[in-house]
């Protein structure tokens, strides 16, 4: 993969220079075909589950269908976000619409939690009035669900670690596949024991698993939505790397945030009393930030050092948890 860096240095009367680097890399695999196939299969399967859930009087099947419907909406959200990320930046939106890939999994997580609440309520009602269940129908339809959802989840397996938006799609589908396994087992137990209360129990267990995954997705996407440091980046390690550069006296105003579900930005002020170190220093710095920390868009401001101003900025400009660097 080729990375190019564009460094722009602007000198000011107060001996400050601003240097920007943008690592332009190819967009992640677009997964358009995976989204199209998954959406089509899940719409068809949702209709099948609703039909046979009603005919077979199975709340577990209807619960699974409700989750599948939320999957369709979730997949459409994730697909739309992956398309919006590709839109070019404009004067009105200078970052483009990259944040859409963070907002989509946030909406996905909320959608899953709302759907889970509805299923839990219905299960509680069913406990009070257990009804006969067509266990054979449950098992056959749920077995089809394992194949459809498991196969769809595998389409997003490649991107789940590097893109929270794709991870949201993967979790939706993987949770459905696991839920379908639970429905098959519930149908088998009902066929053997004729205990119809197993059906709402199974729907509750399925829903608990869904909530577990949705809560994790909600935390991760909300963290990125409020400009938290992406969890794969060690902010302290970045700070110490910058502070321990031989010509750097101090580091302040260090900020690291996610521009999208796959791109990370950084801004920092480096105090270098010896003056502007030049483009070669900056090129090496940008390359290291990208290769070692996965930071794609660093912006560095070089400062010559004003003792009084730096003293005032010491606590105000450095985030909590960063140790101040004093050269030996």
Provide the pLDDT for residue 25: 42
∠ CA 187-190-195, nearest 5°, is: 145
Q: Are residues 14 and 83 in the same domain?
A: no
Provide the pLDDT for residue 316: 57
Q: Which residues are CB-neighbours of 97 under 8 A, at least 6 positions away?
A: 84, 85, 87
Q: Are residues 137 and 119 in the same domain?
A: yes
Q: Are residues 115 and 213 in the same domain?
A: yes
Nearest to 61 by CA among 172, 144, 142: 142
The boundaries of the domain holding residue 166 are 32-225
Which of these three, 173, 199, 225, is where a domain ends?
A: 225
Provide the pLDDT for residue 29: 52
Residue 249 forms part of a structural domain? yes
Provide the pLDDT for residue 5: 40
Residue 303 forms part of a structural domain? yes
Q: What is the pLDDT of residues 90-125, one digit of tens each?
A: 788 777 777 887 888 888 788 878 878 877 887 887
Contact 313, 252 (CB under 8 A): yes
Which of these three, 225, 254, 283, is where a domain ends?
A: 225
Q: What is the pLDDT of residues 30-85, one digit of tens each?
A: 677 888 888 888 888 888 888 888 887 777 677 767 767 777 877 887 777 777 77
Residue with tokens 């890939």: 101
Provide the pLDDT for residue 319: 64
Q: Are residues 243 and 186 in the same domain?
A: no
Residue 258 has pLDDT above 80, yes or no: yes
Which of these three, 206, 225, 244, is where a domain ends?
A: 225
Q: Are residues 191 and 300 in the same domain?
A: no
- CATH of residue 279's domain is 3.30.70
Task: Give the mean model confidence (pLDDT) for residues 162-172.
Answer: 75
Confidence of residue 287 (pLDDT cuts 50, 70, 90): very high
Q: Are residues 14 and 145 in the same domain?
A: no
Residue 100 forms part of a structural domain? yes
Residue 324 forms part of a structural domain? no
Q: Are residues 240 and 205 in the same domain?
A: no
- For residue 120, CA distances in Å to 66, 86, 158, 185, 189 come to 12, 38, 32, 19, 21
Q: Are residues 275 and 140 in the same domain?
A: no
Q: Are residues 250 and 213 in the same domain?
A: no
Report the domain count for the chain. Answer: 2
Q: What is the mean pLDDT of the chain?
A: 77
Residue 327 forms part of a structural domain? no
Of the chain, the percentage scoring pLDDT greater than 70 comes to 80
Q: How far is CA 20 from the centre of its chain?
A: 26
């Amino acid at each position: 993969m080729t990375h190019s860096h564009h460094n722009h240095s602007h000198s000011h009367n107060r001996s400050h220079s601003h240097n920007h680097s943008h690592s332009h890399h190819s967009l992640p695999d677009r997964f358009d075909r995976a989204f199209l196939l998954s959406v089509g299969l899940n719409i068809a399967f949702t209709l099948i589950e609703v039909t046979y859930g009603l005919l077979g009087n199975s709340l577990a099947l209807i619960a699974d269908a409700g989750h599948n419907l939320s999957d369709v909406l979730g997949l459409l959200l994730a697909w739309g976000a992956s398309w919006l990320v590709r839109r070019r930046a404009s004067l009105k939106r200078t970052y483009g619409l990259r944040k859409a890939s963070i907002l989509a999994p946030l909406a996905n997580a909320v959608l899953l939690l709302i759907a889970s609440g509805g299923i839990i309520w219905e299960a509680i009602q069913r406990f009070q009035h257990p009804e006969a269940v067509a266990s054979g129908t449950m098992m056959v339809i749920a077995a089809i669900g394992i194949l459809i959802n498991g196969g769809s989840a595998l389409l997003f397996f490649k991107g789940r670690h590097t893109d929270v938006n794709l991870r949201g799609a993967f979790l939706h589908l993987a949770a459905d596949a696991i839920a379908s396994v639970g429905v098959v087992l519930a149908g088998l137990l009902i066929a053997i024991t004729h205990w119809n209360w197993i059906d709402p129990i199974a729907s509750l267990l399925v829903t608990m698993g869904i909530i577990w995954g949705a809560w994790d997705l909600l935390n991760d996407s909300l963290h990125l939505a409020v400009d938290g440091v992406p969890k794969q980046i060690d902010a302290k390690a970045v700070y110490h790397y910058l502070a321990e550069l031989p010509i750097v006296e101090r580091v302040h105003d260090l900020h690291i945030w996610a521009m999208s579900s796959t791109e990370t930005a950084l801004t920092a002020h480096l105090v270098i009393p010896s003056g502007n170190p030049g483009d070669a220093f900056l090129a090496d710095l940008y390359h290291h930030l990208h290769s070692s920390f996965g930071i794609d868009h660093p912006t560095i401001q070089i400062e010559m050092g004003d003792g009084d101003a730096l003293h005032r900025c010491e606590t105000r400009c450095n985030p909590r948890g960063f140790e101040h660097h004093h050269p030996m």
